[in-house]
Amino acid sequence: MKRNLSIVFIAVILFLNFSGYSSAGEKKKNLWITKKEASLPPMKHPKRENKNSDKLKNQLSSVNKQSIMGPIIKIKKPDPDKLYKDLIDILIHFEENPMGESVDMTTLRVIYLKMFGIDITDRILPYIIETRIDANGIKFPEGEHEFEIRIKDTEGMASAQIFKINLN
């Protein structure tokens, strides 16, 4: 009898772990970045020099053309000017550019901008609903966090936008 009860107990624990009902699974679900990742130095943004200004203008114009033609990224939440204390709601809409094609959500990439870019797109996938990211109660370590969102339309025209979250 004790052996059968032990087998049932182990089966219940395994079921809870695999189905996501365990408390550790819930904590991991709402964590987009780890403390270890947050402790990395911030990514250095490239400095613009006047030496090759013609070359730089050509590079920038090609990026701007893609940005103008790609999907429109609207960051509704979080507020970039607000200092947060705990859990954060994130709401980001992706809209078809009037001059472009429909949004291709399979091309979405969310990069955590630290010493090197950390692709956290897989962590965000559960929060994608149609053409938006809708996440409530996401936990971030204390500090300033900078992310770049990249997305393309069905014709391959790209857009990118950087946003920051500050936690006290």
In this structure, what CATH number is given to the domain that contains residue 92?
Answer: 2.60.40.10
Q: Is residue 53 part of a domain?
A: yes
Give the burial class of 18: count Cβ atoms within 10 A of its Cβ; 0-12 exposed, 13-18 middle, 19 or more buried. Answer: exposed
Residue 158 near residue 152 (C-beta atoms within 8 A): yes
Given a cut of 50, the residues of the chain with pLDDT beneath it are: 16, 18-29, 47-66
Q: Is residue 54 part of a domain?
A: yes
- CA atoms of 34 and 101, how far apart (whole Å): 36
Give the residue numbers spanning the domain of 56. Answer: 31-167
Sorted by sequence, the CB contacts under 8 Å of residue 96 that are 6+ apart come out as: 71, 72, 102, 103, 153
Please tell me whether the peptide bond between 78 and the residue prior to it is cis, using omega within 30 degrees of 0: yes
Sheet-wide strand order for 158-167 = 83-84, 158-167, 143-153, 103-113, 117-119
Q: For residue 111, what pLDDT is reported?
A: 95
Number of structural domains the chain divides into: 1
Q: For residue 86, what pLDDT is reported?
A: 81
Q: Is residue 18 part of a domain?
A: no
- CA atoms of 125 and 167, how far apart (whole Å): 23
pTM for the predicted model, two decimal places? 0.67
